[in-house]
Amino acid sequence: MHQHAVAASEHPSASEVTPELQLEVERFLYTEALLLDRRLFRKWFELLAEDLRYVMPVRSNRLPQDAEREFTAPNETAFFDETKPLIHQRLKRLESGQAWAETPPSRTRHLITNVLVEPTPVGGEYLVESCFLLYRSRLERQVDLFAGSRTDRLRRTQRAAGFEIASRTIYLDQATLLANNLSIFF
C-alpha cells in the first residue's frame, strides 16, 4: 500500500468489511472495468461523483532515503489531475471524432485484482486499494501495457451501481512511459 493508505490491521473498524461488502465492491470495480473496455464511457461517467478528483501523479526513480518523494505531491505535476467537468470535456472530445489519439479507438482490457476495502471515518465511504494491469492495443502494431495500483474513495449511493467514485489516485509502476499518449481511462 502507498504511504497514505491504511493497512487492514491498523484500522480499528476493519471488522466492518463483511464478505458481502468485499464482494459488492469487487463487483463494482469489475463492472466499471467492463464499461471502459466496451467503450461505454457515458455509463462509466455516471459512476463518477460530482466532487470527483481523478489523479495520476508522476513517478520518478529515487534513492531509498528519498522514497517518500517517489511520486509527485498533490498540486504538483501529474499525468492526470481532473475533476468530473474536465472528464466530461474529454468525453465530448472523444465523441466528436476529433480526438486523433483515439481515432481509431483503443482496445483495452482492464484487469483488477488485490482489492482491499477499508471503512473511513465518513459513513458509507470506503478506501479501496486495488492493483491493475491495463492492456491497450491500437492501430496495427501499437501495444501498451500499464501496471500499477489505484486508491479509490468509493461512496455508497442509491443508484443501481451501489457506489460512486469520489476520488481515484493511480500509481503507475513505470517511471518512464513508453506510450504515445494517455488518452484512455484507468
Give the chain's domains with CATH numbers: 13-49+86-172 (3.10.450.50)
For residue range 147-166, what is the model confidence (pLDDT) as tens digits? 999 999 999 999 999 999 99
What's the chain's average pLDDT?
90
Average pLDDT over residues 49-75: 88
Closest CA to 14 of 120, 108, 123: 120
Q: What is the largest distance, in Å, between two alpha-carbon atoms of the chain?
A: 51
pLDDT value at 103 more than 90: no
- What is the predicted pLDDT for the residue at 11? 45
- What is the predicted pLDDT for the residue at 176? 86
Where would I find the H helices in the chain? Answer: 19-37, 41-45, 84-96
- What is the predicted pLDDT for the residue at 145? 96
pLDDT band at 14 (very low <50, low <70, confident <90, very high): low
- What is the predicted pLDDT for the residue at 137? 96
